[in-house]
Structure 1
Amino acid sequence: MENFIVSARKYRPATFETVVGQQHITGTLKNAIKNNQLAQAFLFCGPRGVGKTTCARILAKTINCTNPTADMEACGQCENCVSFQTGHSFNIHELDAASNNSVDDIRSLIEQVRIPPQAGKYKIYIIDEVHMLSANAFNAFLKTLEEPPSYAIFILATTEKHKILPTILSRCQIFDFNRIQVEDISSHLAAIAVRENIAFEADGLHIIAQKADGGLRDALSMFDQIASYANKNITYKAVIDNLNILDYDYFFKLTSFLTNAEVSQTLLLFDEILNNGFDGNNFINGLASHFRNLLVGKDAATIKLLEVSENIKQKYLDQCKQTELSFLLTALNLANTCDLNYKNSKNQRLQVELALIKMCHVRSVVHLAQQPLSPSNTATDQDQDKKKTNVVAEKASEAERPKSKGESENLSPIPAEVQKATIPTSTPLAEKPQETPRLAPISSATSISINIPKANSASTLIPSLNDLERVASGDEDSGPKKVTGEARETFTYDRLLEIWNQYIQILKTTDKINLFTILNNFAPKLLSPVLIEISVESKTQEQFVQQESVELMNFLRNQLQNFAVDITFKQVERKIENRLYGNREKYDYLVNKNPKLDELRKRFNLDINP
């Protein structure tokens, strides 16, 4: 029985040409060898399994080759190449800094550097995982790295460049290795499968390439594992079964359920996924990736970002045509929120199920948001307007009709409906009778429109549908009035104090003692017709009042009938009388300074000594 050699070793690149996905680095190194411009220290950095150590070995072999090709590749046949391939070369030394990271190890290496090569032109020292060297080892190595002998070349490799001292980085030529593209890994695996007589499906190799996350060594390890599992027949199903990956079909089917608002089918499919052993967090992340792929598939310019096989790509393109952009963006946001809250949730399954239920209703919510506020009520209001218009027009035509001798010369009284329709709701008739608009004579052909106040986006209080119906029916004087963004009633300082006292009494009755105490300490000041100054004793009090300012502003604007009312703050010091204070008074004073003190007392169930 022959010894099995894993693909990562068996098909390890031996020349620059066979390195996968790092053409920008291999091209630079070949040009440096060709032009005899080799640096004395190189630093290869990048993710694991992308070819750093492999390129270091190829570079070491090539610069000592006595008969390189025209393309600056090692011949593989000269004495230096053969000795390197068999592991007997005295000119190439490898050091694993993960296990040899002390000062003594570096000093031993420095002693070797002093000995010139016996055969060949250069002595090459490859130090892998160089970031694992201790600080003292780095310092011992620094002088040799800065001024090495002419025949010594150092090649350092690391996955964590940020851990290396800047003094080391400044003495090296730095080469950043990229993650290998999915297509490059998939093509490389296909070539190996052909050489090994392994049957495969392109979709299966694509899944392996995606799972490898840019590392070719990881991809080759999974390739060997699945080839053994599937008896040299790498299918799509064998890959997802062996690597515990959710099938694309689950996400395509689930997206169809979500867009059709099929809540029951969605929850049943999620239950099936959980029963198959998949984690809820991995599922929600996979669903978010699926939505992302649908999103990039909507634009021809971003289709290239779909790192999937052609068969799966076509499925994405078909489904993205049936899925609205608004749904994808909202669903992506819901999935991201679920992912952030998943680990801290006590009921993680419910966390995912809630996100899925919300996704099912995205379309209906977006559709509702695009509709008028209440189509049925709008239609009813229009019918009522038409009826009132007919009544007003009839009475107006009677008023315009020539009077007989027996009739009075004066016009008939103005109908109540017209008065209510033409006077704004925020202006009581008793207060401003002189502003009542005069009506011109109305002919029977004149159309009359009744203006109903609409909810303004700048309103402090948004009228309800019942309020709109009440105004439309002419009953605007009954019930509480709402302040709209157009209300600009003037008010006196005495009126402000009256409303102010009403509000702080409400605070007292609703047990908001902290806010009551702060607002009761000083009377408000009216700096301008609409600007109110609130005095506070500290920044903490100001922040506390600001947190509760929405209700205060709504109350003031509503009661003063002026939407332009605004507040500002001023820090003042309260004069303290020279007298003895009890514990309760001292405590009240401290609470005025910092209202959170009272919350602290309640939390620890503390009492105040009399």
Structure 2
Amino acid sequence: MTSHVYYRKWRPQSLGEVVGQKPITDTLLSALRQQRVAQAYLFCGPRGTGKTSTGRILAKAVNCLTNEGTGEPCNTCSMCQAVTQGSAMDVIEIDAATFTQVDRIRELTERANYAPAEGRFKVYIIDEVHMLSTSASNALLKTLEEPPPRVIFILATTELHKILPTILSRCQRFDFRRLTTADVTDKLAEVAKAEGVDIDREGLTLLARAAGGSLRDAENLLQQTATVCQGTISLRQVQDSLGLTGDGRAGQLMQAIAEADAAAGIRLLAGVAADGVDLKQFNREVIEKLRQVLLVKAGTADSLNLTDEELLAAKTAAAAASMDYIMRALKGFISLAGNTDMTTPLAMEMALMDAVLPPAAPVAAAPASSHSPVRPAEPRKPVSPPAAAKPAAAKPDAEPAPVTTRAESPAPPRPETPGPAPSPAAEPVSTLEELRNNWPNILGCAPPKLRRSSALAILRSAGVQPVSFTDGVVTLSFKFPIHMNKINEPENRRITAEILSACLGVPCEVNCLHEPPANHLVKEAQRRGAEIINVDNVEE
């Protein structure tokens, strides 16, 4: 039983074993064969892509006693083995995160002037070189530009933008790319076979995806899974070891979103929450499903490396939705990935509704016709002063002075004015039937400052309908109790009343009730024109 972790035990020992970086390894191998090795290299790219490993292989190759620095290292001579074991005196590895002081760099450059002790070249591998301070980087410049004979510098970094341009100009730069899922999966299959780990291909693919293009992370995940699971490792065991929900309902929600089926999506989210599924992780899986639909819609399905079943589901969803619609849905769920409270499914329900419901059209763009959206009622005219305040002998054709002054004054509009004066053709809603018929258009007339409120998003959902409009009190029926409870919060109730008051042109209050699903008699009575006058009795 070895004590080495997988990523150290299976570190590549030759350029040909480096995974996914063939253009770079071919270039370095050609330089070795032509004996044109540069004095300084800069390896940059994401973590776990082989930067430090390639630097060690290059250090072995230039000092190999068998090949004499003209090709791949033999890995059998004393120099190759010393480099592999980390005991070679002429290969010095430095972690720049703990080597930031300028005095340490000056000491390094002074030691670089000494000839190699054992090999042909003294090789300095400086990892995470972007961590060097500015003064330390400047102290390294002259040595990089004109290094002593038989000295090679290999710099590695994951943050290229932090490297000084003067450093970049003195190095041969190689960009290591993020590894593909297929490359990582193939390497994991090789490691699993050698370690006697029985795991199916789907499980390896899931590990590769979770690693995000880092082979080191993927090998760590494989070892973690092999430690936890015994015998044949199934896909479900891999999901459990990674903390993934592995819930097929993420794909079902993707399909409901694609088909704009809000009711099915809400029911599904309620079931997921009731089962105690981690909603943050479930949201991440929904985002991945929507991304798959987006790429399939864009015609790049071959870049996803999906199974036949996953590809069919993504194609079905892509066929049911437009590109703009998919983009809007994806943006909505991505916005929840930050610090959003995910203890309840409300945030995901809101994202679902925002995706499914079409954006409200601006009020000004609506044509003035019999089918126009209902706009705020025309503001009332200023009330004339009492008769006692008017002149006693005013001429019939003369305007009263106070009214004339108020009409011509540039004073701001009265507080009760709900917004810009609408067209005279707009009429206020006065009956429940008119309110129901114009419900979507009324919500489209909400003041701009409230159009991004969560209260308006809930009001626009398919599960909210007005059931009574009496004496300025609007009673709203909710299909889902969670939405009713949210609107009943003091702030949301105030915003809802403000929205309805601005849209209807009269001060409004809001009353909420949960619609009983089995009360068909009440529904039939409402269909025939009846109005609810006692909300408490309806909920019994």
Report the TM-score when normalising by structure 1: 0.58
Take 1:164 and 1:358, find their aligned partners in 2: how far apart are those partners? 43
2:371 paired residue number: 465
Take 1:346 and 1:28, find their aligned partners in 2: how far apart are those partners? 50
2:112 paired residue number: 113
- Which sits farther off after the overlay, 236-245 or 66-75? 66-75
Matches within 5 A, 1:41-440: 41-68=40-67, 72-247=71-246, 249-258=248-257, 263=262, 265-274=264-273, 278-298=277-297, 301-308=299-306, 312-321=307-316, 323-326=318-321, 329-340=324-335, 349-357=345-353, 359=355, 361=356
- The higher relative CO (CA closer than 8 Å, separation ≥ 6) is in 2
1:407 paired residue number: none
One-letter amino acid of the counterpart of residue 330, structure 1: Y
1:440 paired residue number: none
Q: Is the 8 A contact 2:294 2:327 kept in 1?
A: no
Take 1:11 and 1:275, find their aligned partners in 2: how far apart are those partners? 44
Q: Is the 8 A contact 1:288 1:332 kept in 2?
A: no
TM-superposition CA deviations, 1:298-336 (whole Å, max 9, x none): 46x41212133xxx3433224523654535642541341
SS in 2 for 1:186: helix
One-letter amino acid of the counterpart of residue 337, structure 1: G
TM-superposition CA deviations, 1:506-561 (whole Å, max 9, x none): 997951699xxxxxxxxxxxxxxxxxxxxxxxxxxxxxxxxx8x758x579xxxxx
One-letter amino acid of the counterpart of residue 105, structure 2: I
TM-superposition CA deviations, 1:345-370 (whole Å, max 9, x none): 678632211222455x56xx69xx9x
Report the TM-score when normalising by structure 2: 0.65
Alignment partner of 1:511 is 2:417? no
Q: Is the 8 A contact 1:80 1:120 kept in 2?
A: yes
Q: 1:225 to 1:349 in 2, by over 3 A?
A: same
Deviation for aligned residue 1:239: 1.3
How many residue pairs get aligned? The number is: 395
Deviation for aligned residue 1:46: 1.0
Take 2:366 and 2:70, find their aligned partners in 1: how far apart are those partners? 77
Take 1:189 and 1:336, find their aligned partners in 2: how far apart are those partners? 33
- Which sits farther off after the overlay, 45-54 or 139-148? 139-148
Q: 1:23 to 1:233 in 2, by over 3 A?
A: same
TM-superposition CA deviations, 1:476-508 (whole Å, max 9, x none): xxxx9xxxxxxxxxxxxxxxxxxxx99967997
Deviation for aligned residue 1:294: 2.1
SS in 2 for 1:37: coil
Deviation for aligned residue 1:85: 2.8
Take 2:70 and 2:117, find their aligned partners in 1: how far apart are those partners? 27
Take 1:551 and 1:314, find their aligned partners in 2: how far apart are those partners? 56
- Which sits farther off after the overlay, 275-284 or 10-19? 275-284
SS in 2 for 1:219: helix
Q: 1:63 to 1:69 in 2, by over 3 A?
A: closer
Take 1:72 and 1:244, find their aligned partners in 2: how far apart are those partners? 44
SS in 2 for 1:30: helix
Deviation for aligned residue 1:233: 2.9
Take 1:245 and 1:502, find their aligned partners in 2: how far apart are those partners? 71
One-letter amino acid of the counterpart of residue 315, structure 2: C
2:536 paired residue number: none
Q: Is the 8 A contact 1:80 1:89 kept in 2?
A: yes
Q: 1:36 to 1:512 in 2, by over 3 A?
A: same
Larger radius of gyration: 1
TM-superposition CA deviations, 1:50-94 (whole Å, max 9, x none): 111000000000011132299921112223223323333222111
Take 2:329 and 2:424, find their aligned partners in 1: how far apart are those partners? 36
2:394 paired residue number: none
Q: 1:289 to 1:85 in 2, by over 3 A?
A: closer
- Which sits farther off after the overlay, 238-247 or 267-276? 267-276
Deviation for aligned residue 1:119: 2.9
Q: 1:19 to 1:277 in 2, by over 3 A?
A: farther
Q: Is the 8 A contact 2:259 2:321 kept in 1?
A: no
Take 2:424 and 2:58, find their aligned partners in 1: how far apart are those partners? 78
SS in 2 for 1:233: coil
Deviation for aligned residue 1:290: 1.0
Q: Is the 8 A contact 1:298 1:317 kept in 2?
A: no
One-letter amino acid of the counterpart of residue 96, structure 2: A
Structure 2 unaligned segments of length 5 or more: list them: 379-403, 426-540
Alpha-carbon RMSD across the aligned residues, in angstroms, is 3.7
Q: 1:116 to 1:298 in 2, by over 3 A?
A: same
Q: Is the 8 A contact 2:245 2:278 kept in 1?
A: no
Q: Is the 8 A contact 1:503 1:555 kept in 2?
A: no
Matches within 5 A, 1:508-587: 511=414, 551=421
Take 1:340 and 1:503, find their aligned partners in 2: how far apart are those partners? 49
Q: Is the 8 A contact 1:295 1:320 kept in 2?
A: no
